[in-house]
Amino acid sequence: MKTNIKDILAAKTKQALSSNILQADSIRKNIIILEELRSLIPPLLDDEFKQLESNILEHGCQSPLQLWQANKKALNLPYTNEDELAYILIDGHNRFKICSTHNLPFEIYQLSFDSLKDAKDYMINLQLGRRNLSPMQIAYFRGLRYNNEKADKTENLLKGQNVPSKENTQNSTDSSLKGQNVPSKISTAERLAEEYKVNAKTIKRDAEFAKGLEKISSDLRNKILVGEEKIEKGLIQELGKNANITNNISSIQEIQNLSKAVSTSTVSPIQQQVEAISNILRKFSKTQQKADLEELIKTAKEVLKTLK
User: Do the beta carbons of residue 203 and residue 196 sit within 8 Å?
Assistant: yes
CA distance linking residue 144 with residue 210, whole number of Å: 6
Helix 135-158 to helix 188-196 angle (10° resolution) is 150
Give Cα separations from 84 to 73, 203, 252 (angstroms).
8, 40, 43
What pLDDT does residue 124 have? 92
Per-residue pLDDT tens over the stretch 141-174: 999 999 988 877 655 555 555 555 544 444 444 5
226, 267, 230, 228: which is closest to 94 by C-alpha?
226
CA distance linking residue 295 with residue 298, whole number of Å: 5
pTM of this structure: 0.66
What pLDDT does residue 260 have? 67
Kind of pairing between the strands at 31-32 and 85-91: parallel
What pLDDT does residue 14 have? 46
CA distance linking residue 184 with residue 115, whole number of Å: 24
What pLDDT does residue 17 have? 39
What pLDDT does residue 283 have? 76
What pLDDT does residue 200 have? 94
What pLDDT does residue 176 have? 47
Give the residue ranges of the chain where pLDDT is below 70: 1-24, 153-184, 260-273, 305-308
What pLDDT does residue 175 have? 47
What pLDDT does residue 22 have? 45
